[in-house]
Chains A and B, each alone.
Chain A
Amino acid sequence: MMHHQLALRFLCDDGGIDVIFTLQGDPSLFVASAASQLLVHMLTFSVESETTKPLSTKDGDWPACAQMIIKHIEDSLQSSSSSHIEQSLNLLTSLFGSCCDTWTEVLWLGIAKQIESFWMEETVQAHHMLAKLLLKVAWSPVFCDTESGIWALVTSALEHLTPVQAGPLAVGIVRHYNCPQDVRIQALTVLLQPMDCILRAASQPLEYAGLLDESVSDPATVESLLSSKSSCVNLLCQTLAHLEELLSQMRFSVDLPYTSLLHSLTTILQFCNGFLRPASPLGSTISRNLINCFRVQRSALDVLAALSEKKACDTLLGSLFDVLLAYLESPNTNPTVLKKTFQATSKWLVRLRELSCSNSQWQQTEKILEDVFLVLQKRLCSPCWEVRDSSLEFLTDLIKSLRDQDEFRQSLLSSEVPRLTEDLLEDPESYVRASAVTAVGHLAFITYFAPESPATGNQYNKENTVAKLHEILSTDTEGFPRRAVISIFNKWVREGCIGQLEDTEQFVSRVIQTVKHDLDWEVRLGGLELIEVFSSQTVCRLCVLNCPYTSVSAVTGCIHQNSSLLIFCRAKVFNFLFQSLCDCDQPLGQRACDILLALRCRFYPVKTLKDSQVAEDSYAGHGIAWLQRTLRQGSLAQNILTDGGNRVDFQDPESMLLALGIIDLEELHDELNKSSDHVEKSPQSLLQDILASVGTIEENEADCY
């Protein structure tokens, strides 16, 4: 309604706006938020639709409705009620987040002084809201000028708010493309000071450079926060979360002191497992506060993982891996911390590989890999399923990233890890079985599919592994392992690992027969993806595509076309595709339709049989008419499975070629792509709902219309 002047006037003139003001304080957060959003819309619409010249701070210039809202905001900000202040701050945050018109600057100038006074007053407890508001204002294009007064306000806020309150503001400001250098330094100081304090508390004199120049600011506040357990943990977790956010941003261009940051992170991790002897009284206190603190461990490991992408951390690699291995080896490491340790280790091993190439640090790499596989071996035997699962995920990550590295392959294959991984295919926990399937699938790239694949002597050879995965696909009672198998089979086929075309055809045919009746729709979808990969590979291999670099005559093109159609029919691809068109799970129908459309493009590159008006009786004999009718009657037709099989021969190339040419796949595609609630979203359905909710339809029908 806020696109209509009449509606706006109705609300403003008849007291409706007062109701909306009141609803800002509704106990339901949804209602309160909606009221705030509505006021933002009203203000924006009022200013944009009722003013013709630039606005000033004078009341008289603003439209009536805008004046009412602005006065309400100003009154609330000046009131002694913290809930009123918070409501107005919320409203302003929404406004500056959504509206970038120049009049917002005028509005801001009117309230900036009042806003600034809030962080000077201890009575106002809405500091996090203030930080959010300042961020929205600073990021608004209206205030992008470095000379803008907003930066003075930000500076003042960073000075006066506590490190915990200022954190979110600082992280938002550091990323600002137009942030003045001095403000950015101040924001970075807020973010780095806890890390700097950790470093200084751990070693005296400082072995490495600190993160900050000591003259930048007074660390007393941060030190006092680090001295109490709860505030220490909160501050560090928040700081680490902000740092991870910054480091994870690809486009973050500000250089941080990465080496010192890495040192500080390893120090935190050592404090947490009690391995570090602090050199100062503050260090002892921090150590006591952090020992066995899983929250801080997890956050620090997240930052550590993000830091692996950055250069200039190479000098500390030795001690970094010492810390990571200590975490991996320690029986006291909590399973969730272990998972994060695995993630960080995997990222740093990739980094190590990059460095090893350049610095010839093979020996160090080999030793680390040896230690990693030794501990992985033990973790794969853990009685805790979460640990076994994380270990398998870690192994998969490593293989994905390092499988082309000789040293990695040698270390892996000389360890017990491959055999233990295969054993876990029979784990009683379905998540672990699923992860084992994925790991074994990736392991196969090294053990069986690599050109120089070694004889591993494990209990499974290539055939056994494939058979084992097939067995899981057809018999496992849980969905996760079956999904993992079909996903791995897809990967194998995509990477051309199965072998010659004949082998792949047999493989795909067998898999399709297994998955087409699977109760899990994701497994069936995986089967369709397999068909998609297989069909495009087959067509490519038979050179049906008109490659610009090869000339294919009409005759050879036709031969290839027939061959590929024959292969698809033999592999029982069409049966599954047409069956999936009628699947009760919509994504399957959509995917099957997409695949059929793609196939049709290959077989009918110019026009379809439908376009060429082929006589109906020419294809009736093949049951295509029946198929078309059944599909058209609704994608829900279930009888394709029952009597459809008798009328259409899905393994007959001629029939399938006709089907592709005749069936209106576009129409089917449109039908399938309608969202499942398209009926419920229609105006008619809405009307029925309204009628039903007000009671007797007959009495109210006319009014509703």
Chain B
Amino acid sequence: LKLYCLSGHPTLPCNVLKFKSTTIMLDCGLDMTSTLNFLPLPLVQSPRLSRLPGWVLKDGSTFLDKELKECSGHVFVDSVPEFCLPETELLDLSTVDVILISNYHCMMALPYITEYTGFTGTVYATEPTVQIGRLLMEELVNSIERVPKAQSASMWKNKEVQRVLPAPLKDAVEVSMWRKCYTMPEVNAALSKIQLVGYSQKIELFGAVQVTPLSSGYALGSSNWIIQSHYEKVSYVSGSSLLTTHPQPMDQASLKNSDVLILTGLTQIPTANPDGMVGEFCSNLAMTVRNGGNVLVPCYPSGVIYDLLECLYQYIDSAGLSNVPFYFISPVANSSLEFSQIFAEWLCHNKQTKVYLPEPPFPHAELIQTNKLKHYPSIHGDFSNDFKQPCVVFTGHPSLRFGDVVHFMELWGKSSLNTVIFTEPDFSYLDALAPYQPLAMKCVYCPIDTRLNFIQVSKLLKEVQPLHVVCPEQYTQPPPTQSHRTDLMVDCQPPPMSYRRAEVLTLPYKRRYEKIEIMPEVSNKNGEKDGGFLLIQPNSSYCFSIKYKLPIIQRVTHILTDVILKYLFDNPISTNVSLDQR
């Protein structure tokens, strides 16, 4: 039982589990924080960005001034943004049998894996995960492809050069592995390899392992996974939530009695209570609009935005904001809003019951109907005709490096009346804002992360009682900036096993039981005489690989540590049983 850790990002995991002769990839998250090192891609020519001076070395060398630009003391790469891929060298990814996807945020690296590594297996995910994941990928590709950038920067990646660069470029890891965004054909090819699954559906892998997705309560169609053989159970807990938001609630009971629980995807802002943050979001929004300013909300086109729109639906009338237009701008805005309404079976109970009334489960339908919320594929076209201020704009990308958000940052950044409210927790808001400095507009950080916090994890672990817990190393110590907060780490007994990027863990589990199916001809085929027996040594590294040709006649189960297959002694049989050494 081995775990290959291909990603160091705790909420964008990519791990490979070798279990019972199968190789299972658990998620393939894409770390997009690398894009923060690049200059934004403006939709319309930005005189400010194009006038930025090239970066000059201390010794006066200017050979990098075309690739690197300086803005308010920070240095950025002037090129198409690139992403940090999961490790591809740690093991041969063509040997991966299956990929299990937990939620749409954790599949963004899928095209890199399925289209570049010789992967021939199957990907399993729920339908909402695939559909919304497709929207996220489409938006990403669209945002980058619509602003073609002629130049490509590569000199700065030279190790010798990188050493002399200022932070954070100097400290960026494995820049040689950074890749440009995939294309839509690659996205389509990757998605075609996905097989749809439903919650609690049992999927047999080669007769050796069974995998089952469970509701994780975090997003539409988000799952945790149970991977089990007859006597071993590994639980994979990815982004999960116990809060009552729109998705189906988390299935905790099925996680009980796990031998190993792999824990990833906890909240990135453990000190921020989502309810408080939503309150903060609404308050700041109302204050800005009342003062005649505009509000910009950089966000993904799916997920928290549904909850935010629901809160605003209840709030805007009471706050006297009924006449303020809300705009949702994304190439996939329409699809996202519509998809959310049709996945009824994946929603929480309250929303499911609405469908039978029949009413749309999310109130944003009403906001659209009453013209309070309008959605557009981009700032071009109808939007420019309808645009009224003061207004609230939801648009991507949360990194502020590409997408329509770049335009609004350039447009509204100079006025202190306007506010940008960060709700997505994936990016440091200060880093995101760096290329827009100096900035007059107000910035508010209200990260809304509904994933499990450490108190909830502690309760969950007490409830499900796994024998061993494996988690990213970040969860085994307090956050670096709050070293005194010992409550902000996973607390369990025995202490969790931690992993980091590019590490291979041998999971501590020891097998105690094995299921053996014996065919009648076993003994004869192997030349055993009547009365002979097989002795399996305690803790031996042998296991049975059995080819089935005849009907099963009997099942025998023994403790491997001291097993004598007495059955063979009593019943001389022959079959094609072979002992493989692992």
Contacts and interface: CB of A to CB of B under 8 A. Distances in A.
Interface of A: 274, 276-278, 284, 287-288, 291, 330-333, 377-379, 381-384, 387, 416, 419-420, 423, 426-429
Given A331-B446, A332-B272, A423-B290, A382 B482 contact: no
A428 B317 contact: yes
B286 A381 contact: yes
A381 B315 CA distance: 10
B290 A420 contact: yes
A419 B320 CA distance: 13
A274 B485 contact: yes
B318 A332 contact: no
Best-surrounded residue of A276, A383, A384, A429 (most CB of chain B within 10 A): A383
Contacts of A420: 290
Contact of B318 (A291, A331, A416, A429): A429
Interface string B289-318: 011000000000000000000010011011
B489 to A, nearest CB: 11
B247 to A, nearest CB: 22
B287 A330 contact: no
A387 B279 contact: yes
Contacts of A378: 280, 283-284, 287
B318 A381 contact: no
Contacts of B273: 331-332
B534 interface: no
Interface in B265-292: 271-273, 276-280, 282-284, 286-287, 290-291
A381 B283 contact: yes
A416 B287 contact: yes
A384 B315 CA distance: 9
B368 interface: no
Given A330-B276, A331-B446, A333-B276, A288 B487 contact: yes
Contact of B287 (A274, A284, A333, A377): A377
Contact of A277 (B284, B290, B484): B484
Contacts of B446: 331
B279 A382 contact: yes
B196 interface: no
Contacts of A287: 484, 486-487
Contact of B291 (A291, A331, A387, A416): A416
A242 to B, nearest CB: 28
B485 A383 contact: no
A284 B317 CA distance: 45
A419 B486 CA distance: 44
Contact of A331 (B280, B287, B485, B486): B280
B320 A423 contact: yes
A377 B446 CA distance: 17
B319 interface: yes
A233 B283 CA distance: 32
Contacts of A332: 271-273, 276
A43 to B, nearest CB: 54
Contacts of A276: 484
Contacts of B314: 383
B272 A331 contact: yes
5 contacts: A274-B485, A277-B484, A288-B486, A378-B283, A383-B314
B419 to A, nearest CB: 12
Contacts of B482: 274
Given A284-B486, A331-B446, A383-B315, A274 B271 contact: yes
B291 A381 contact: no
Mostly helix, strand, loop or mixed at chain A's interface? loop
A202 to B, nearest CB: 11
B567 to A, nearest CB: 55
B416 to A, nearest CB: 14
Given A331-B280, A428-B317, 16 more contacts: A277-B484, A284-B484, A284-B486, A287-B487, A331-B272, A332-B273, A333-B276, A378-B283, A378-B287, A381-B283, A381-B284, A381-B287, A381-B319, A383-B283, A384-B279, A423-B290
Contacts of A429: 318
B282 A383 contact: yes
B487 to A, nearest CB: 5
Contacts, number: 69
A416 B282 CA distance: 17
Nearest to A423: B320
A331 B286 contact: no
B486 A382 contact: no
A383 B291 contact: no
Nearest to B283: A381
3 A-B pairs closest in CB distance: A331-B276, A381-B286, A331-B280
Contacts of A419: 290
A383 B311 contact: yes
B282 A381 contact: yes
Contact of B282 (A274, A288, A382, A423): A382
Nearest to A432: B318
Contacts of A423: 290, 320
A382 B484 CA distance: 31
B487 A291 contact: yes
Contacts of A377: 287
Contacts of B485: 274, 291
A382 B271 contact: no
A555 to B, nearest CB: 59
A331 B315 contact: no
B173 to A, nearest CB: 30
A351 to B, nearest CB: 28
B172 to A, nearest CB: 31
A426 B321 CA distance: 12
Contact of B484 (A278, A333, A383): A278
Contacts of A427: 318
Contacts of A331: 272-273, 276-277, 279-280, 446
Contacts of B484: 276-278, 284, 287
Contacts of B483: 277
Nearest to B320: A423
A382 B283 CA distance: 5
A276 B484 CA distance: 8
A519 B78 CA distance: 71
A387 B275 CA distance: 13
B19 to A, nearest CB: 36
Nearest to B282: A383
Nearest to B318: A428
A377 B291 CA distance: 12
A444 B505 CA distance: 70
Q: Which of B278, B446, B484, B486 has the most CB of A within 10 A?
A: B484
Nearest to A428: B318
Among A284, A291, A331, A333, residue most surrounded by chain B Cβ atoms (within 10 Å): A331
A288 B454 CA distance: 12
A426 B483 CA distance: 46
Interface string B44-88: 000000000000000000000000000000000000000000000
A284 B486 CA distance: 8
Nearest to A385: B318
Contacts of B315: 383
A216 B158 CA distance: 69
Contacts of B280: 331, 378
Contacts of A416: 287, 290-291
A383 B315 CA distance: 6
Interface string B316-330: 011110000000000
Interface in B417-457: 446
Contact of B279 (A274, A277, A284, A383): A383
Contacts of B272: 331-332
A278 B487 CA distance: 13
B290 A383 contact: no
Contacts of B283: 378-379, 381-383
Contacts of B278: 383
B304 to A, nearest CB: 15
Contacts of A291: 485, 487
Most A C-beta atoms less than 10 A away, residue of B291, B319, B485: B319
B363 to A, nearest CB: 15
